[in-house]
């Protein structure tokens, strides 16, 4: 199943710099691994915000929840999830 996930990141300003650096490094490694697996298909930065819009391709709601709750930045995020369905007018075969 495909999902659009909007992640708005709100890292506390008083988070110690070394902790911030570590959590960001873990987040990058975790997200890139999911991208290599094909589960995190697309990620786009939202201009002017510390946010992204991503497309996930996972088996079901439970898998998506497990992935999102495993994000190192999860405690600092507001997340909105929208399930997606292939549009009948779509012409590409690789977007299902």
Helix (H) or strand (E) holding 24, with range, is helix 17-37
pLDDT score for 10: 97
62-68 long-range contacts, CB within 8 A, separation 24+: 63/39, 64/1, 64/3, 64/5, 67/34, 67/39, 67/40, 68/5
Q: What is the DSSP letter of 30?
A: H
pLDDT score for 96: 59
pLDDT score for 49: 96
pLDDT score for 93: 76
What's this model's pTM, rounded to 2 decimal places?
A: 0.90
pLDDT less than 70: residues of the chain: 95-96
The closest of 47, 63, 45 to 3, measured between CA atoms, is 63
Domains located in the chain, CATH noted: 2-84 (3.30.70.1060)
């Amino acid at each position: 199943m495909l999902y659009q996930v909007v992640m708005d990141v709100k890292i506390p300003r008083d988070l110690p710099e070394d902790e911030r650096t570590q959590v960001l490094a873990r987040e990058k490694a975790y997200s890139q691994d999911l991208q290599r697996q094909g589960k995190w298909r697309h990620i786009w930065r939202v201009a002017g915000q510390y946010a992204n819009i991503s497309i996930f391709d996972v088996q079901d709601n439970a898998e998506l929840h497990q992935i999102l709750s495993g994000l190192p930045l999860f405690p600092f995020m507001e997340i909105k999830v929208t399930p997606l369905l292939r549009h009948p007018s779509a012409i590409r075969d690789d977007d299902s």
